[in-house]
Amino acid sequence: MRSRKVIVQNEHGIHARVAIRVLEKTRNLDSQVTICKGCVKADGCSILELLLLGAGKGSEVELIVSGGDEEQSINAISDIFADGSGI
């Protein structure tokens, strides 16, 4: 298991398009991805759970990855948040 804390850089936080980018990445990974904001946890494969995190710009979220390709997975998901989601 690997975990990493990242800051949401997207101007509008985690919104539908960002959640879809996360979902697209996690769908192709061998690892299970969980994203946490405070006490709220979201499955990386659930758009609704990601939106319900309520993570705005500047929010700190923790990525928790477990499975066969942890390093690749955590880097791929971190990149989505670090580059402002490319949107």
Residue 83 pLDDT: 72
Average pLDDT, the chain: 89
User: What is the C-alpha end-to-end distance of the chain, expressed in Å?
Assistant: 29
User: Domain map of the chain by residue range?
Assistant: 2-86
- pLDDT of 69 > 90? The answer is no
The string of pLDDT tens digits covering residues 22-34 is 899 888 888 899 9
Indicate the CATH number of 2-86 among 3.90.180.10, 3.30.1340.10, 1.10.10.10, 3.10.690.10: 3.30.1340.10
CA-to-CA dists, residue 59 to 10, 36, 38, 70, angstroms: 10, 11, 10, 23
